[in-house]
Amino acid sequence: MRCPKCSSEELKVLETRAGTSASTRRRRVCLKCNHRFSTMEEVLREDLVVVKRDGRRESFDRTKLAMGLRRAIAKRPIDAEQINGLLSDTLRRIENEFDSEVPSRAIAEAIMHRLRKVDGIAWLRYASFYEDFMELSRFAEEIMNLGGGTESDEGGG
């Protein structure tokens, strides 16, 4: 591992905490430039294969999933820890539910289920790709559903 600021390999672990059930969070300091940063460690399943809509199969890539999620949350008030938690929870659910092959649709639905609770706009961005909104009326319907079912509306008096 290297320091994200100066690329030095001279690092020290300051603190270790249990993250979610399958992850460990470590606070580190670079001994060269004194930069402090956090890392998350997770056990990765090497054998997980994603089955695409067209039947193709490819190795699961957490980075690819994270990039799609980051595009959806761009300029939204969501912090990195929420995203890491969302990814970890989703992966744990997928790994518990499927053996070695998982449909891409199942991954998308698991992400959308959790993302909708975190941020409706980010959910709509993510869903607009996976739901294939072919008609503007369907897209507008989802926007209306977001406006009517937000948590802030439920608790009001």
Domain boundaries, the chain: 9-43, 46-144
Segment 53-102, tens digit of pLDDT: 899 999 888 888 888 888 888 888 988 778 888 888 888 888 888 888 99
C-alpha 122/C-alpha 146 separation (Å) is 11
Confidence of residue 10 (pLDDT cuts 50, 70, 90): very high
Segment 128-152, tens digit of pLDDT: 776 665 566 666 777 777 665 444 3
Single pTM value for the model: 0.59
Angle of CA points 35, 32, 9, to nearest 5°: 90
Check residue 43 and report its DSSP letter: P
Q: How deeply is 52 buried, as exposed, middle or buried, from its count of CB atoms within 10 A (0-12, 13-18, 19+)?
A: exposed
